[in-house]
Amino acid sequence: MTEDRITLKRPDDWHLHLRDGAMMEGVLPHSANHFARAIIMPNLVPPVVTGADAIRYRDRILGALPEGAVFEPLMTLYLTQETDPADVRNAAESGLVKAVKLYPAGATTNSASGVHNFDGVRAVFETMAEIGLPLCVHGEVTRPEVDIFDREAIFIDEVLDPIRRATPGLRVVMEHITTSEAAAYASEGGSDLAATITVQHLMLDRNDMLVGGIRPHFYCLPILKRGTHRPALIKAATGGNPSFFLGTDSAPHATDTKENACGCAGCFTAPVALSCLAEVFDEAGALDRLEGFVSLNGPKYYGLPVNHEQITLERGAPIQFPEAIETDAGAVTVFNPDRPVHWRVL
Ligand code: DOR
Ligand code: ZN
């Protein structure tokens, strides 16, 4: 490794929205370009609820891969009030499904079928604890009176901690953490608890989204927080604790549905995620820890092998961000943090 070049084991993305149909065909190559595997979010319409749904969705993803691309979709099931623990067990034991996703009902995009009574899904949690299947959690309370900026911190105390205490051995991934409270909780949770962090939450805060005009392409859920939280996230990502790893939450929406009077939540970061992360780690003086965050910690938590292949990034003049990608479901604006990023993937 020289100063301006860094070679890593090929990364994985532990939280990715690929969608379906024409949108999936358009965005999938951008993940397959850089990532060997990804945990695929199940919030389609209708959602991916059963093992049979996951088989069909996996086959559609594999069928949409460009010729020669090597990419393994790691499937998840969308937890509903009706989820059958036996189906979860079968889907996990067959190797098909790598996690179950918990969306509190109403928390985010396509979460209407999510969970509103956490006690009512206890049997699923118990089966998951028994077989070691991780629960990926969108950690936000949805009570309308709770301020959107407080929803994550309150979820930890009101929902997540009680679930973990009631179900010892349940393996949990706190998805896309955005607050110092979540970083602190995840760092003290032992080997059953992990957290993913996105590119946008490492690079931006709510001022970037709201000062000097509203930036719809920075709007995602959980929403960008007060700037004081960002250093805690950077410290978590770059600090070498194996409980933290990359989940981009790359979430494509057609540009016109984001630049809209009621815009959709989600940042499409897949094409530029690694460049942006290298910049963040470089600024933190922690380039030597980038591989842990993007390539080693995730497989370790999920009990999967590290990838054999490698990827190299090079530092040079600021990269040109593509403005958008074209898909048959419309153009999708590519995340651009609006500051120089010097690392490109070779
Ligand atoms: O910003 C987000 N977009 N957050 C989510 O939790 C869901 C995602 C999406 O599916 O668009
Ligand atoms: Zn997501």
Per-residue pLDDT tens for 277-328? 999 999 999 999 999 999 999 999 999 999 999 999 999 999 999 999 999 9
pLDDT band at 190 (very low <50, low <70, confident <90, very high): very high
What single DSSP character describes residue 285?
A: T
Tokens 């020289």 belong to residue: 2
Q: Is the CB of 109 under 6 A from ligand 1?
A: yes
With a pLDDT cut of 90, the percent of the chain lying above it is 97
Q: Is the CB of 336 under 6 A from ligand 1?
A: no
Which helix (H) or strand (E) segment holds residue 184: the answer is helix 180-187
Q: Is the CB of 221 under 6 A from ligand 1?
A: yes
DSSP tally for the chain: helices H, then strands E: 14, 13
pLDDT in tens, 105-142: 988 888 888 999 999 999 999 999 999 999 999 999 99
pLDDT band at 1 (very low <50, low <70, confident <90, very high): very low
Q: Is the CB of 257 under 6 A from ligand 1?
A: no
Q: Is the CB of 265 under 6 A from ligand 1?
A: yes
What single DSSP character describes residue 338?
A: S
pLDDT in tens, 200-223: 999 999 999 999 999 999 999 999
Alpha-carbon gap, residue 257 to 330, rounded angstroms: 10
Q: Residue 135 C-alpha to ligand 1 middle, in angstroms?
A: 17
Q: Residue 223 C-alpha to ligand 1 middle, in angstroms?
A: 10
The burial of 303, by beta-carbon neighbours within 10 Å (0-12 exposed, 13-18 middle, 19 or more buried), is given as exposed
Which helix (H) or strand (E) segment holds residue 92: the answer is helix 85-93
Atom of ligand 1 nearest to the CA of 222: 4
Alpha carbon distances (Å) from 300 to 108, 161, 191, 290: 28, 23, 10, 15
CB distance 272 to 335 below 8 Å: yes
pLDDT in tens, 239-281: 999 999 999 999 999 999 999 999 999 999 999 999 999 999 9
Burial 135-144 (b: 16+ CB within 10 A, else e): bbbbbbbbee
**Which ligand approaches the C-alpha of residue 251 most closely?**
1
CB distance 105 to 116 below 8 Å: yes
For 12, residues 6+ apart whose C-beta sits below 8 A from its C-beta are: 35, 36, 37, 38, 246, 294, 295, 298, 299, 307
- Boundaries of every domain in the chain: 5-345
CB distance 91 to 77 below 8 Å: yes
Alpha-carbon gap, residue 74 to 101, rounded angstroms: 12
Q: Is the CB of 16 under 6 A from ligand 1?
A: no
Q: Residue 201 C-alpha to ligand 1 middle, in angstroms?
A: 13
Atom of ligand 1 nearest to the CA of 175: 6
**Predicted local distance difference test score (pLDDT) of residue 264:** 98
Tokens 């299947």 belong to residue: 133
Report field, pTM of the whole predicted structure over 0.95: yes
Catalytic residues, which ones? 249
Atom of ligand 1 nearest to the CA of 252: 11
Q: Residue 241 C-alpha to ligand 1 middle, in angstroms?
A: 26
Strands of 37-40's sheet in order across = 13-16, 37-40, 72-78, 97-102, 135-137, 172-174, 193-197, 244-246
- CATH code that applies to domain 5-345: 3.20.20.140
Alpha-carbon gap, residue 231 to 234, rounded angstroms: 5
Alpha-carbon gap, residue 38 to 342, rounded angstroms: 25
**Predicted local distance difference test score (pLDDT) of residue 112:** 86
CB distance 333 to 264 below 8 Å: no
Residues recorded for the chain = 346
**Predicted local distance difference test score (pLDDT) of residue 110:** 86
SS3 call for 7: strand
Alpha-carbon gap, residue 190 to 169, rounded angstroms: 11
For 256, residues 6+ apart whose C-beta sits below 8 A from its C-beta are: 330
Atom of ligand 1 nearest to the CA of 43: 10
Alpha-carbon gap, residue 37 to 166, rounded angstroms: 32
**Predicted local distance difference test score (pLDDT) of residue 111:** 86
The token pair that represents 85 in the structure block: 């623990």
Tokens 């961000």 belong to residue: 321
Which helix (H) or strand (E) segment holds residue 289: the answer is none
Q: Is the CB of 332 under 6 A from ligand 1?
A: no
Residue from 13, 16, 17 whose mutation best tests the ligand 1 pocket (most atoms within 8 A of CB) = 17
Question: What's the mean per-residue pLDDT of the chain?
Answer: 97
Q: Residue 72 C-alpha to ligand 1 middle, in angstroms?
A: 21
CB distance 99 to 134 below 8 Å: yes
